[in-house]
Chains A and B, each alone.
Chain A
Amino acid sequence: MSRNRIYKITGAVATVFLLLVLAPKFLPEMKIHLATEIMIFALFAVSFNLLYGYGGMLAFGFAAFFGFGAYATALIISRIPAMPLLLTLAIAALSGFVMALLIGPLAVRLKGTYFALITFAFQMFLYAIALKWRDVTNGDDGIGIARPDLYLPFLGNLSMAEISNLYYVTLALVALGIIACYLFLKTPLGNSIMCIRDNDVRSSFLGYSVYLTKVTVFCLSGFLAGLAGGLFVLFNEFVATNCIDLSMSFLVVLMALVGGTGQFLGPILGAAFYITFQDWVSSLTQRWWLFIGALYVVVILYIPDGLISLFKSERIRLFGNRKRG
């Protein structure tokens, strides 16, 4: 990467970050809500992209980790009110990690469609538990929570009922998660993951353990997804089976595809676009799902590399004669 490009990217990221920090000062409350939701799903989509875009593993049941983190958070907040908020969120992330550690060793032995389907099967299994174990999960009715305050040294108690406070906490944690993921991909282990995605046979004959590396990336993406799930519950003040169901799994696939997988910024852009689009369309019509479906079709047909590809230097042929395989 040229020095010039590094400066450009750093500048762009710093500008966006500054805007995000200042945003609550200017935006109406509704928009702060929207921005918070975007950030949470950006983290979710980034964690999915770590597995799919960089690890080459397409999981159809990725909501398993998001949902497990979400339920863990809701249960802790409702049953152990004294638990510090940051610790709760750390546990949410860890529960995503642990769930991935349980599923991963079985799932990563499979490839392609089989891998996609087995993750889906595990997710549906967890969904069934969330639905049927009413004593704990409240089934369809879900668990409502009140956002606990966040205690910070020097700053004292921050009320999370105040949306701008929640916004900043979300911003900090999401930024931390995304930056960590970005740096992680630049380490030798991050490189190992891409080696195995690109050529698993050659990699194993170079001494890479395909299995262990895959399990590792599976768990790390589960960790980030669990954190996103925890933040989502905090934001929504409610968890129900929709956090761990099929449509949540597909939502993250859709966001990543719309934005562009395999590109670091793609899923972030995808999440921002999707949430904004959904917010806008659903304010216009009740049949907004129809438009989401249309969006899916348009992206797959005309922008298969995602919205991020529109920003790349290559000439864009939106309606051109792209060769189809």
Chain B
Amino acid sequence: MHTILKAENIVKEFVGLKALNGVTLEVYEGERHAIIGPNGAGKSTLFNIITGMFKPSSGKMFFRGKDITGWPAHKIARAKISRSFQIINVYPKTTVYENIRNAVVSKFNRRFNWVTLLSRDQNIEKESNRLLDLLSLTAARDVLASELSHGMQRQLELALTLALDPELIMLDEPTAGFTRDESHKVVQLIRQVTEGKTLIIVEHDMEAVFSLADRITVLSYGQILATGTPNEIRENEEIKKAYLGRKGNGTGA
């Protein structure tokens, strides 16, 4: 299988804390890859390093064979790695349509265009409307993002992430704050919109993870405990221990 993203021995040290301690990971083209682990395992840190929020202390990150270690976030986004946020992060004071249009402008590389009027651009309008439709946000087109329900805001968050036409989609706890039922729907939606694309997802809801993921990586104390198919992970004794909170012999203090 073709590797799309490769992390090589990633170490991230914060002051007084080693959040990641040599993580090596390969994500294959077209797979849905979940990263799980107990709180404080380093999931978010790894996620933030891949997307350019943090720079690793050491180690290398490759995307399609290209070294993207330490690239700033906007450059990584332009390389077609697109992320969502755990805490909803949209443009609260503008409408749903304008939110999505902001992403579409970026996708079409019109960010620095200053010779045409934005409202006159048919391509941007068409694409924005298509995305509204795809995420069933058309009814809320002219509502301010801050006035949407939590569920709709999550959908908008997802829409912004997908609007860039990413080759690698990174979702950070997309079902956070949902009831079980709603969570089901979100997973359904994610499955539908990420069809044929590569997905990395950090998620606490195990039901969602095991139904969605092709492969799962388990992090604990900044190291990878195991990577494998959902079945392999389910059978793994060490992981059961980590999740039950009992520490194995070698896993530190």
Q: Interface residues, chain A, CB within 8 Å of chain B?
A: 183-184, 186-192, 195, 198-199, 201-210, 212-213, 216
Contacts and interface: CB of A to CB of B under 8 A. Distances in A.
Contact of A204 (B73, B101, B115, B164): B73
A188 B124 CA distance: 10
Contacts of A203: 74, 102
Interface residues of B, number: 37
A216 B112 contact: yes
A74 B215 CA distance: 71
B77 A189 contact: no
Contacts of A216: 112
Contact of B89 (A190, A201, A210): A201
A203 B74 CA distance: 8
Contacts of A192: 105, 111-112
A207 B78 contact: yes
B114 interface: yes
A201 B118 CA distance: 22
Contact of B110 (A183, A188, A199, A204): A188
Given A188-B113, A188-B116, A213-B111, A204 B77 contact: yes
B188 to A, nearest CB: 25
B114 A189 contact: yes
19 contacts: A186-B117, A187-B113, A188-B105, A188-B110, A188-B111, A188-B112, A188-B118, A188-B121, A191-B102, A191-B118, A192-B112, A199-B90, A202-B91, A204-B72, A204-B73, A206-B74, A207-B164, A208-B74, A208-B106
A318 B78 CA distance: 48
A186 B121 CA distance: 11
Contacts of B73: 204-205
Given A195-B102, A199-B91, A201-B89, A206 B114 contact: no
Interface of A is mostly: helix
Contacts of B124: 188
Interface string B90-111: 1111100000011101110011
A229 B17 CA distance: 53
A165 B113 CA distance: 36
A189 B113 contact: yes
A186 B160 CA distance: 21
B114 A195 contact: no
B82 interface: yes
B114 A199 contact: no
B88 to A, nearest CB: 10
A303 B89 CA distance: 31
Given A198-B92, A199-B89, A188 B160 contact: no
A198 B78 CA distance: 20
User: What 3 A-B pairs are tightest by C-beta distance, nearest first?
Assistant: A207-B77, A189-B114, A207-B106
Contacts of A191: 101-102, 105, 118
Interface string B112-131: 11111111010010000000
A203 B121 CA distance: 20
A184 B114 contact: yes
B153 interface: no
B198 interface: no
Interface in B32-86: 51-52, 72-74, 77-78, 82-83, 85
B112 A189 contact: yes
B119 A186 contact: yes
Nearest to B157: A202
Given A191-B102, A201-B89, A204-B74, 17 more contacts: A183-B117, A187-B118, A188-B111, A188-B124, A189-B113, A191-B101, A203-B74, A203-B102, A205-B82, A206-B74, A206-B102, A207-B74, A207-B107, A207-B164, A208-B74, A208-B106, A213-B112
A234 B72 CA distance: 46
A202 B106 contact: no
A210 B78 CA distance: 13
Nearest to B124: A188
A263 to B, nearest CB: 14
Nearest to A195: B102
Given A198-B92, A198-B93, A205 B51 contact: yes
